[in-house]
Amino acid sequence: MGKKALIYIFLIVLAFVVLFPFFWMVITSFKPLGSGLSMKIIPENPTVDNFKLVLTQYRFSKYFVNSFIVAILGATFSTLFALLAAYAFAKRRFFFKNGLFLLFLSAMMVPGMMFMIPQFVLVARLGWINTYRAMVVPHLANVFGLFLLTQFIRQIPTSLIEASRIDGASEIGVIRRVVLPLSMPIVATVFLLSFQFHWNNFLWQLIVTTKESMYTVPVGLAMFRSAHEELYTLRMAASSISIFPIAILFLFTQRYFIRGLTEGAIKG
């Protein structure tokens, strides 16, 4: 009992250390303007004026909409393409399948910075600068999601897929009626990781956007910090807004993570 108590105490202290910066950020965002450096944990006169100023005067509402559109489109289509490709690699036979799969996996060992210049040249020649296409299309190939989905779909009994084909289902019907429902935990995981990547993507969005109206939240937050270094409460409010969608999405999808871990333990 004493050993377990020490473990729990250690985990509580560790959780406090990890979560305290986020707690301080949220608390500071509710402090009155000009009191961001106050050491009081609980503000005497909490206010939401910081959020109003950030969303209206500093145009973070537009940045938020841009980030939401980019993240939703990027996560949806990259997950869809990864699911279709994973089904082909896991359950279909075609020429050079294993070699092509290894070739895709080897691309994960190449640093992303290596692709940035050719991607930018291609996007610029297509005339996509300052468009959602430039922010979404170059990152629709999700090799890591392809790997996760392929490994998971391989565990689905082939007899279920063959029975669905006997019933007259097309390949798309097999994916929609058999593969997708059984793979929902890992699909949700890939979607969440892809959404987080597109939402937090800073450098690429900075490169392909020159108009302020096309800024995403990370780009707008960086510009805001450099222009208003002393406005700590506003910076914390903007930072709180930037992590809000990720936190909400995780709350709604965490049950799929638990289900995926449980199924993995049973199959293992």
Please tell me the pTM assigned to this model: 0.84
- Domain regions of the chain by residue span: 48-267
**How many whole angstroms separate alpha carbon 221 and alpha carbon 187?**
30
Q: Give pLDDT, residue 264.
A: 41
Q: Between 228 and 141, whose confidence is greater?
A: 141
The confidence band for 165, taking pLDDT boundaries of 50, 70 and 90, is confident
Q: Give pLDDT, residue 226.
A: 60
pLDDT value at 15 more than 50? yes
Q: What is the pLDDT of residues 74-103, one digit of tens each?
A: 999 999 999 999 999 998 888 888 899 999
Domain covering 48-267, topology: MetI-like fold (1.10.3720)
Q: Give pLDDT, residue 49.
A: 84
Q: Give pLDDT, residue 18.
A: 87
Q: Give pLDDT, residue 266.
A: 42
pLDDT value at 52 more than 70? yes
The confidence band for 216, taking pLDDT boundaries of 50, 70 and 90, is very high
| Other CB atoms within 10 Å distance of the CB of residue 160 | 14
The confidence band for 230, taking pLDDT boundaries of 50, 70 and 90, is low
Q: What is the pLDDT of residues 168-193, one digit of tens each?
A: 888 888 888 889 888 888 888 888 88
pLDDT value at 137 more than 90? yes
Mean pLDDT of the chain: 85
SS (H, E, C) the chain: CHHHHHHHHHHHHHHHHHHHHHHHHHHHHCCCCCCCCCCCCCCCCCCCHHHHHHHCCCCHHHHHHHHHHHHHHHHHHHHHHHHHHHHHHHHCCCCCHHHHHHHHHHHHHCCCHHHHHHHHHHHHHCCCCCCHHHHHHHHCCCHHHHHHHHHHHCCCCHHHHHHHHHCCCCHHHHHHHHHHHHCHHHHHHHHHHHHHHHHHCCHHHHHHCCCHHHCCHHHHHHHHHHHCCCCHHHHHHHHHHHHHHHHHHHHHHHHHHHHHHHHHHHHC
